[in-house]
Amino acid sequence: MKIICNKNNLVHGVSIVSKAVSNKTTLSILECILIEANAGIITFTANDMELGIETKIQGQIIEQGKIALDAKLFSEIVRKLPDNDVIIETDQDFKAVITCEKACFQIMGQEGNEFPYLPEIEKEKSITLSQFSLKEIIRQTIFSISDNENTKLMTGELFEVKDHQLSVVSLDGHRISIRKIDLKDSYDSFKVVVPGKTLQEIVKIISGETEEDVTIYVTSKHILFEFNDTKVVSRLLEGEYYKISQMLSSDYETKITINKKEFLNCIDRASLLIRESDKKPIIINITDNSLELSISSFFGSMEENIMITKEGRDLFIGFNPKFLMDVLRVIDDEEIHIYLVNPKAPCFIKDEAGYYTYLILPVNFNH
């Protein structure tokens, strides 16, 4: 194989597929990136058997062929080459010679045919949406997945399509995030649970442009994201996702409307007095036109009042400040509505149109 590529194109291609390189494997081939030059197209592929990414890059093919190169080493070499054209040449013994200006590296590769190809995905069920919408919907829910491998389904997000709406749900046992968006067309219904790791990598790769689309295909075992010149294939998490409709109630005793930025800044200030390990709640006292927020810890105490509009009863309730801040950071509305029942029942932060719903469990405290 012999190819000539611009350094920037190489770096771009490597940075995309590197996200699927395995770092916990006994198979050295899974630590590699497959470079394939065939039919006028240069393709990079990485696959850790759970997540696989393939992307095409611009370049000139002098001689067709393929080779698997150690991802970490190849990536480091490419990044540190001068900003110019790079020649990659391989021989029969899977040795690769990488040349750019006066720099010349020789590294050992592996037989390209040994590399596990991405699974073929049947393209029967699909949806198309803008990269911007996909990036937003993940950003606004991903923070409430669990990192506990014992509750495997909680480490992923539920993607559910009904007619012309996509709904994404995540939960970790203390909170639930639900985000819905309208799709341009109507689609066949489906429900799949996508690993959080896959979604975190997708967010890093997609541009987030409103004009650029991404098409998502699903089968019983896999999900495929196709955009620009890139394909991302991931295994799905198996099992029946939690029935969250039973956890969602429209009953409330107290409803408050509050300026989101003011509320977020206030909690942020209060958090200066606590460490992650403290598990200290912030205490919220809701009275007629005012929300009083207070915190007390080993480092000191703080109180602050915010003007609100209130319907219903007064309430005294405690929350984990991080859980509130996670939600407030991803809501774009200037004013938010918070619905509460009592100090032991979850609170709901949701919009009237039903495009987002966040449920947060309160924290017990002594007062």
Residue 31 above 70 pLDDT? yes
pLDDT tens string 290-300: 999 999 998 99
**What structural domains does the chain harbor?**
2-114 (3.10.150.10), 125-246 (3.10.150.10), 249-360 (3.10.150.10)
Residue 24 above 80 pLDDT? yes
Q: How confident is the model at residue 344 (pLDDT cuts 50, 70, 90)?
A: very high
Structure-token pair, residue 6 = 């611009």
Q: How confident is the model at residue 240 (pLDDT cuts 50, 70, 90)?
A: very high
Contact 302, 292 (CB under 8 A): no
- Residues facing 347 on adjacent strands: 360
Residue 249 above 90 pLDDT? no
- Mean of the pLDDT values across residues 286-313? 95
- Name which of 20-29, 98-107, 172-181, 296-305 the model is least confident about: 20-29
How would DSSP label each residue in 81-136? S-SSEEEEEE-TT-EEEEEETTEEEEEE-EEGGGSPPPPP---SEEEEEEHHHHHH
pLDDT at 189: 95
pLDDT at 276: 75
pLDDT tens string 100-147: 999 999 999 999 999 999 999 999 999 999 999 999 999 999 999 999
- Mean of the pLDDT values across residues 307-326? 97
Residue 367 above 70 pLDDT? no
Pairwise CA distance, residues 190 & 240, whole Å: 13
Strand order in the sheet with 290-297: 300-307, 290-297, 282-286, 315-319
pTM assigned to the model? 0.93
Contact 244, 346 (CB under 8 A): no
3-state secondary structure 68-80: EEEHHHHHHHHHH
Contact 279, 271 (CB under 8 A): no
**Residue 40 phi, psi dihedral angles, 5° rounding:** 75, 10
Tokens 């294939």 correspond to 233
Structure-token pair, residue 257 = 């409307």
Q: How confident is the model at residue 148 (pLDDT cuts 50, 70, 90)?
A: confident
What lies within 8 Å, CB to CB, of 194 at 6+ separation is: 156, 157, 159, 223, 234, 236, 237
Residue 366 above 80 pLDDT? no
Average pLDDT over the chain, rounded to whole? 95
